[in-house]
Amino acid sequence: MQVTTCSMELTHAETEGPRGGFFRVRATPLNCLIGHISAAHLNPAVSVAAIILGKINIPMAVVYILAELSGGIAGFGLLQVVTPDSILRSKSNGSCCALCVTLPHPELSAFQAVLAEGLATSVLILVVCAVWDKRNERNTDSVPLRFGFTVMAIAAAEGPYTGASMNPARSLGPVIWTGVWDSHWVYWVGPIVGAVLTSFMYKQVFDRTPAHVIQVTEDDNEQAIPLQSNRHSKELEAERGSNLNITQA
């Protein structure tokens, strides 16, 4: 991911300002390649959303995030190996340029930059939540295209503001190798906060899918009842009393 993201910027290495949107097409092939294996998170913000939605547990999320960060660092390292030094080191004093480093527009305040990244990530996570929704489980054939077009649209709209990273792993790799840490925290705070708020909102507002069927035993009578949400079982217990025995099917 990092290689395809940053290689698009080689002809723009000496330009100033944000360079968002060049990575937009890489989501489609990667979802096709590994989506059926690991759900193709590729992004710590997506992994955080997966925790909130109950798709993975915290230990597994740690594994995902470490893999994502390692991939971002290794990917930009590989790009350094195959990129001419004249492009990587474009300044007269030999210091490394900000190739592939996501930077907010110089006229944005820190709050505006965080808000822009948070909003962009929120749109992405909203699509992730919809794709993971059980009501959508039969509509997965076009998921890679959906993600590709989603990232493309977000990058076109938000790219001029902060580079439309939406992904701490994507932003970490270049700063590790170039040492350009300016405003890097924006690309952690914005996406993570956006992912947490959006996934929590989706879970509370839209998560009304019959998740599974339970067997209710009360006075030796059994009844199959579909759960309408994660809160439904608690409401059912409160309504029918503590002597209700609920087991998942």
| Angstrom distance (rounded) from CA 177 to CA 150 | 29
Q: pLDDT, tens digit, for every residue of 64-120?
A: 999 999 999 998 889 888 888 777 765 544 445 677 889 999 999 999 999 999 999
pLDDT higher than threshold 80 for residue 236: no
User: Long-range pairs for 60-69 at CB < 8 Å and ≥24 separation?
Assistant: 64/38, 65/169, 68/41, 68/42, 68/43, 68/44, 68/169, 69/44, 69/168, 69/169, 69/172
The domains located in the chain, with CATH, are 2-205 (1.20.1080.10), 213-248 (no CATH)
Structure tokens at 90: 């474009």
Q: Give the Å distances, CA to CA, from 159 to 113, 154, 185, 212, 242.
A: 11, 7, 17, 41, 54
Structure tokens at 63: 């594994």
Specify the pLDDT at position 148. Answer: 81
The answer to whether the beta carbons of residues 20 and 165 sit under 8 Å apart is yes
Nearest to 199 by CA among 49, 17, 48, 11: 49
- Rounded to an integer, the average pLDDT of 236-247 is 58
Specify the pLDDT at position 18. Answer: 44
pLDDT higher than threshold 80 for residue 132: yes
Specify the pLDDT at position 149. Answer: 85
pLDDT higher than threshold 90 for residue 179: no
Specify the pLDDT at position 12. Answer: 47
Predicted TM-score (pTM) of the model is 0.72
The answer to whether the beta carbons of residues 22 and 32 sit under 8 Å apart is no
Structure tokens at 228: 């309408």
Specify the pLDDT at position 34. Answer: 59
Report how far Cα 235 is from the mean position of its chain's Cα atoms. Answer: 32
Structure tokens at 9: 């910027």
Range in 35-44, 83-92, 114-123, 173-182 the model is least confident about: 83-92
Angle at 156 between CA 152 and CA 6, to 5 degrees: 70
pLDDT higher than threshold 50 for residue 29: yes
- Rounded to an integer, the average pLDDT of 184-195 is 97
Q: How high does pLDDT run on average in the chain? A: 77
Tell which phi-psi region holds residue 43, choosing left (phi > 0), alpha (psi between -120 and 50) or beta: beta
Q: pLDDT, tens digit, for every residue of 133-157?
A: 888 877 777 777 888 888 889 999 9
Specify the pLDDT at position 92. Answer: 40
pLDDT higher than threshold 50 for residue 21: no
